[in-house]
Amino acid sequence: MTIFEPSEAMERLPEQFFAKLTRRVTQLKKEGRDIINLGQGNPDRPTPEAIVRKLERAARNPLNHGYINFRGLPEFKQAAADYYRREHQVELDPEKEVAILFGAKAGLAEVSQCFLDYGDKVLLPDPGYPDYMSGTALVGAENVFMPLREENGFRPDYSQLNKQDLESAKLMFLNYPNNPTAGVATPEFFEETVKVAEEYETGVVHDFAYGAIGYDGEKPVSFLETEGAKDVGVEIFTLSKSYNMAGWRIGFAAGNEKVIEQINKLQDHTYVSLFGAIQEAAIEALSGDQSDVRELVSMYERRRNVFIDTLEAHGFRTIVPKGTFFCWIPVPEGYTSEGFSEYAIEHAGVVTAPGNGFGSEGEGYVRVGLLAEEEVLREAAERLGRLEY
């Protein structure tokens, strides 16, 4: 009898944070509890109709039913380059500086596989998206955490990092607008990042998942807008958030051509190519009418205002998000992140994500997703506001 022992890489993988949260919510609903789940980041609106119609037509094309170009449709890579020129005034070579991804999450793990060996150091944000650690765990890299603190706009202070860590780190992961803190980058911060990357020869991977979602008339800054950015790094873009295409699993990496080539090389061995009809739908998303994106951002901003205003009316201290569809809420005095999250579930029926699940620097906060209708968010904020602290 063959006994299958997991590899060391599999044993290193951390517990999937969101899977654990999902199981908790499922159990509560089975118990018949009146639950408002604001703990996850799954867009609640449908994909725009024009994109769905494009998929339907493309799915009927027999040319999309077989294997296609391993590295994807040239037309999709051109659409990605056109998007960056239009939205961020960034010029990209679609063949050398764009790689199609099977979702941004896959791309983030692939970069670690392409450039990190066992024991290599990698700089990660704390708090940060937990799945960055999935990629580094698979290769056995050593995580070095960069604190993201409220007093610094939830951006790392490079001057406070250990110089030895900076000198030895091969990669640095960043994410703005930021999940979970909803902090945003400034042009000056990205300029400093490029200087640090050049000085210490560290590759930068910027996760731009919420690149279209900025508030109060401020458009999120792309890392690639910074002079020298393509020399030191790449940006990972997903269609999940901007176009409500989370389940479609499509995105792209853009920037440094050496990184793009290695991603393509790895995917040559692990995939054939993403279903052509999905790529054609993605072209429609990037190239078509963007009014749905503008309305989506306006909707999230209205939701943000309702939720924050209601909490503040009850005396909560809040941090007004400048981007993403999350709120990063300081917990009341006397509570830990998990303690408050559990208290909110038990006594208000409101599910939040405890901040320490995103890293030790997330202690003292909970993350709330603005992924429900305004009246539901108002009700959730009212329930939290009525709790006794």
Q: Is 328 helix (H, G, I), strand (E, B) or coil?
A: strand
Record the tokens describing residue 296, joined without a space. 């989506």
Query: What would the pLDDT profile of 48-68 be if each residue is shown by its tens digit?
Result: 999 999 999 999 999 999 998
Domain positions in the chain are 8-46+291-386, 49-287
Q: Which residues, 6+ apart, have CB-to-CB distance to 331 below 8 Å? A: 337, 339, 340, 355, 364, 365, 366
Please state, in angstroms and as integers, the Cα–Cα distance from residue 379 to each residue in 149, 310, 365, 386, following that order: 29, 9, 20, 11
Which of 92, 110, 123, 295 has the alpha carbon at shortest distance from 213?
295
Query: What would the pLDDT profile of 145-200 be if each residue is shown by its tens digit?
Result: 999 999 999 999 999 999 999 999 999 999 999 999 999 999 999 999 999 999 99
Classify residue 214 by its DSSP letter: B
Sheet holding 353-354, edge to edge: 326-330, 365-369, 353-354
pLDDT at 27 (0 to 100): 86
Domain 49-287: CATH architecture, name and number where available: 3-Layer(aba) Sandwich (3.40)
Cα distance between residue 265 and residue 268, in whole Å:
5
Confidence (pTM) = 0.96
- CATH class of domain segment(s) 8-46+291-386: alpha beta
Sign of the Cα torsion 76, 82, 83, 84 reads positive
